[in-house]
Amino acid sequence: NQQVILKDFVTGFPRESDFEVTTSTVSLKLPEWSEKGVLVKNQYLSCDPYMRILMHKADLSFPIDFFTPGSVIFGYGVAKVLESGDPNLKEGDLVWGITGWEEYSVIEDPQKLFKIHHSDVPLSYYTGILGMAGMTAYFGFYDVCCPKKGEYVFVSAASGAVGQLVGQFAKSLGCYVVGTAGTQQKIDLLKNKLGFDEAFNYKEESDLNAALKRHFPEGIDIYFENVGGKMLDAVLGNMRAYGRIAACGMISQYNLEKPDGVYNLLRIILQRIRVQGFEVFDYYHRYSEFLDAVLPLIRARKLTYVEDIADGLNAGPAALVGLFSGRNVGKQVVAVVPQ
């Protein structure tokens, strides 16, 4: 059983060398201690920015499970059931949810898994567009941003797993959408493949405020926040009255010991801006509503999804840490069995 292990707690930017890929023997039987669990064979693993937070020493003020040095890391994935102690799952079923970064896992709490009923679309999509990232984009945009036709929408980390979908949802509603990303290849992708009206490379702008003024001379109605820090500050300075900010993530802050300052906070009051943080888990009970909306769009090719698939668990650590330097183009996935 090939496994990805976290060697020690991480400070600063995570590196490939913070992980080790080891091999251990595995019994392909559900262990006796896990009567109600399931034994699965993992197919695809999802690389997600929040996993950086789990590399810290456990912080009891966060009610989440952190990684344990010396143990297998875990995250969202797609898996096939080999043996089940859960009456709702049987051998051969496909599921998505939290699993180990390894070939075979025992999942002790299978109630938290989502059963996959539609396999006419790529299975890897359940790590992204049809899984956690897709729900984040869908509910974050439609529920949290309360968008209206014709509004000016700005998306950061726009070519990533979440951002590329937010931009397409906003376009389909008739909004004007600008995205930002960190390479020319991603800018071309946003404009030529994903239908954004405009896009700019934030790494090439010495003055983010000026870049936003150039793209939004009349200001921003909706900001889908994925990066935080200096970008958030510049955006606040360009928000229109009664604008809305969906605080989805702040990847620019995850590797810092101290957060970057935000000076324009007062503008939240002056411009009556609504900033709302949200966690995608709050929407998991609405998964079937989400699938009903998004699956037909995928089948009709009205939604595009760009994936970046790393081959094999050996390539997993580099793929995961690559999120923090922008190495991924689109949703970063690891195929457990090389393609």
Binding site for ligand NDP (CB under 6 A): 48-50, 133, 136, 157, 160-163, 181-183, 186, 226-227, 248-252, 278-280, 323-324, 326, 328, 331-332
The end-to-end CA distance of the chain, in Å, is 18
Q: Which is nearer to ligand NDP, 249 or 316 (CB)?
A: 249
| Other CB atoms within 10 Å distance of the CB of residue 293 | 14
Of 174 and 277, which has the nearer Cβ to ligand NDP? Answer: 277
Residue number with CB closer to ligand NDP (80 or 171):
171
Structural tokens at position 253? 């802050």
Q: Name the CA radius of gyration of the chain, rounded.
A: 20
Q: Give the shortest CB-179-to-ligand NDP separation in angstroms.
A: 9
Question: Least separation, in Å, of the C-beta of 184 and ligand NDP?
Answer: 10
DSSP string, 114-131: EEP---SS-GGGGGTTTS
Considering the complex, what minimum distance in angstroms separates the CB of residue 39 from ligand NDP?
A: 28
Cβ closer to ligand NDP: 40 or 306? 306
Instruction: Compute φ and ψ for 12, nearest 5 degrees.
Output: 70, -155
Asked if residues 95 and 127 have their Cβ atoms less than 8 Å apart, the reply is: no
CB 169 within 8 A of CB 321: no
Q: Which residue is nearest to ligand NDP (CB)?
A: 160
For 26, residues 6+ apart whose C-beta sits below 8 A from its C-beta are 1, 103, 104
The distance of closest approach from Cβ of residue 156 to ligand NDP in the complex, given in angstroms and rounded to an integer, is: 7
**Residue 55 or 81: which CB sits closer to ligand NDP?**
55
Least distance in Å: CB of 332 to ligand NDP?
Answer: 6
